[in-house]
Structure 1
């Protein structure tokens, strides 16, 4: 018999490349129910299903609950990223920015730092600060360049000032 994790992964793999619909949400909910109502990971999966189905407002509450219940260090940053993205999609830019900026500050060396930066950039752009968003994206990319770190950092910081 497959583990719970393997069965969750199988649902997501089957839905890959497709629009997530009520059937996927129901399948995730059924698996989540096996772990009970106070399991952070189960709530995270329920949130992700709704998020993928375009039901961001429902997902927001479930991501918050998952984070409050506690998640491991693999899923906690994913929940923060996905929550901030959902908040952006429903127009809660200030809350999304606060969440993503706290994640950046509290976990600067996270393996998800580039994903955090991408969401940060998207939130800034959606909130009417596209130059600051571009700056955040560029600053996340610069460490991966073979050269030009100093000059590109200066340019990225200069661009950010255009929104102030």
Structure 2
């Protein structure tokens, strides 16, 4: 059974492009007051993140995870926190989070983990390794040429390991 606030939350997120950032955050603050603490922290962090405030978002994601956030929201919090850290110039910390997350059980967010891992590696001057991560993730979705794409990604990674 879905909590009653889940529908209200989805409706609020649907308004993101139609309201000002401060109004969106204020509405999120009101809505999350009736949510469990970890979920509330995560959604407030996402609201700050989506309205251009990665500093506030980062702190809230950290708190949400420390409060025991679970399930899909936990994984989203890690991805979004790492993205915020990248935006704040803290790519090494983002890399640590995403590398650990890449080792978690596979789900529909694997591509998002790979995307932000690739971007983080590029931020760190490790573009070839980032490209290999992106190609590996993409290869899993291709109807054809997936083996070739995976081999090219492996070659890029091997080249990075030999020359890095």
TM-score between the two structures when normalised by the length of structure 2 = 0.88
The 8 Å contact of residues 19 and 53 in structure 1, kept in 2 or not, is answered as no
Alpha-carbon RMSD across the aligned residues, in angstroms, is 2.0
Aligned to 1:9: 10
* Residue equivalent to 2:143: 146
Task: Indicate conservation of the 8 Å contact 1:21/1:53, yes or no.
Answer: yes
Count of equivalent residues: 159
Give the Cα–Cα distance (whole angstroms) in 1 for the partners of residues 20 and 117 of structure 2: 25
Structural mapping, 1:60-71, within 5 Å: 60-71=58-69
Q: CA deviation at 1:146?
A: 3.1
Q: TM-score scaled to structure 1, two decimals?
A: 0.88
Please list every run of at least 4 consecutive aligned residues from structure 1 whose deviation after the TM superposition is greater than 4 angstroms. Answer: none
- Distance, in Å, in 2 between the alignment partners of 1:149 and 1:30 is 47
* SS at structure 2 position matched to 1:145: coil
Which of the residues 107, 111, 133 maps onto 1:110? Answer: 107
Unaligned runs of 5+ in 1: none
Q: 1:9 Cα deviation (Å)?
A: 1.3
- Take 2:145 and 2:5, find their aligned partners in 1: how far apart are those partners? 47
Partner SS state of residue 125, structure 2 = coil
**C-alpha distance in structure 2 between counterparts of 1:102 and 1:33, whole Å:** 31
Given that residues 139 and 147 in structure 2 are in contact (C-alpha distance below 8 angstroms), is that contact kept between their aligned partners in structure 1? no
Report the CA distance between 1:4 and its aligned residue: 1.3
Gaps of 5+ in 2: none
Task: Tell me the residue number matched to 1:26.
Answer: 26
| Cross-structure match for 1:77 | 75
Q: In structure 1, what is the equivalent of residue 50 of structure 2? A: 52
